[in-house]
Structure formats: structure tokens, C-alpha cells
Amino acid sequence: MIPELRFGALTIPTHDFFVVLGVVVASVVFVLEARRRGALREESLFAVAGALVGGAIGMRVSGWAEHLDPALNPTLLEAWMFGSRSVLGGLTGAYAGVLIAKRLIGYREKTGDLFAPAVALGMAVGRIGCFLTEAPGRPTELPWGIRAPASVPECLGCLTGQPMHPSFLYEIVFQLAMFGALVWARGRVSRPGELFTLYVAAYAGFRFLVEFTRANETVWLDLTRPQWFLLPGLVLVAIRLTYGYRRGFYDRLPAVGSLGRGPARRDPDGGTFREEAAGGTVGDHTDDSVTIRQESK
């Protein structure tokens, strides 16, 4: 709807402006979070560089293998020059870039918790550019449906004047809510890296569902390419969340902790032991996820 932004005599593509602004915002949040955790050092900044390079490559070349017939796919150079700029491709590339960068310098500490709130807020900013320049979503009769000019690229609803889902606004609201939730939860997750796991799981589930309101082409069984890309990932994150839940990684999160208390059990001498969520009262035996307390016989 607003393809270009003008700053005096300077004209900048709207989408690119907000993508760059989102990267800047994410970088600032990362630095602040790393400083708060005492993790702001050369190795963590090298991980950021890996994320930026990997994200740029993933975003541009994610549509390279779009068709099963290789003859229909662009060359790598064409994909780089005119790529789809997929957010999912960018996130996947950024994740791979961080892993490669850390492997190159032999850095073994987990950095996911530093990235999680940064990515959420950066995504919220970047999606403003998508909302202002891309097809909003599928037609809807809901009262908040929006209409857009027929000049919006690849937008059938725009041509007919139909109200459409503001799908990118849905994602902006989701990412802002996730940023707030991650900031709140960062002191309540007992194991390093799990904050990022929770974010990835939440975004994968949200993105799969919001695709039903997006204007993307369906390719098989009425699902879009992003949904088919996400399906195996949803299975993996479900397994990963189950693993973390069973080991008490999320017991200090109220909604999970209320379900995570193990049943009381007795010791050989007749005393009763009870499992409590991490952060419970002090006992003789403590590990990362469980505190054991002996009650009176």
C-alpha cells in the first residue's frame, strides 16, 4: 500500500527499510540482554554476525528449490538477486549461521536465550514493512477486514475490493506479545537455551495457523508451502517440549509448574519424599529441575 518511503530527496523501499530497522532493533535488544546476563563478549558478537550472514542468505535463496522439477527453479544467482525474502528461510539461515559461527571459534555456550526476545521484537518491526507492501490476506467477513489498493502486488482481493484478513497485523501483535512473555519468563526457565525453544515452538504453531489467513498459494491438501515446511518442525518441537517438560525445565512457569509436581513417594525408612518445582524450599538433594524434601515421619 505504501511501496516507498520518502525522507526529503531520499526514496527508500518500504519493505527493505523496515527489514533493516528490525535487524537494528533486534541487535540492540541482543546487546542489552547479553549485557544484563554478563555474556557480552567477542564470542557472542561473533554469533550475531553468523546470524546476520546466515539470515541474509536463507532469506534470499529459500525459494531456490520451490518446484520439484529442477528446470522450473531459478539459478542460485537468480534466487539471490530476486529471491522471495522468506521470513522462515531467514530464520532457518540465521539459526544455521549461529551454529556455524560458534563451531568455527569453538564457542560452546548456549546463546538462544539472548536471541529469543531480540528476534521477537525485530520480527514485529520487520512485519510492518510486509503489512505496508504485500497482499494482506485471504478474504474475510470479519469486522476488522481491510481493503487495499489494486496496485498491491499479487493481491486478488485487492482487485475485487474485498475485505481481507490483516494477517501481518496478527503477526505483529503475536510477536509483541511473545517479546513481553519472553522478558517475563527469562528468569523462570531453569535451563539455558530453553527460552529460545519456547519461542520457536510458539512461533511455529502460530505461523502454521496464521497461514490459513495469508494470501499465499496452496499447493497440496489446501496447505501452503510454509505450512508444509513447518509440519516436520512442529513434530520436532513437540518432541523437544515433551523432553523439557518431563525433566522439569519449565516447572517455574506457573501454568506448567502447577501441573509438574510429582506425586509424593515414600523412602525405605518410612519418611515421605515429595518432588517440588525448581526454586522450591531447600533440601539435601538438589539438581537442575527437582528439589527433594523429606517430610516428618
Cα Rg for the chain, rounded, in angstroms? 23
Band the pLDDT of 193: cuts 50, 70, 90: confident
Q: For residue 38, give Cα distances in angstroms to 10, 33, 50, 173.
A: 40, 9, 20, 30
What does the pLDDT read at residue 235?
92
User: Per-residue pLDDT tens for 26-79?
Assistant: 989 998 988 888 877 888 788 888 887 877 777 666 555 555 555 655 555 555
User: Per-residue pLDDT tens for 97-138?
Assistant: 888 888 888 888 888 888 889 999 999 999 999 899 888 889
Spatial separation of the C-alpha atoms in residues 275 and 22, rounded to whole Å: 43
- The residue type at 290: V
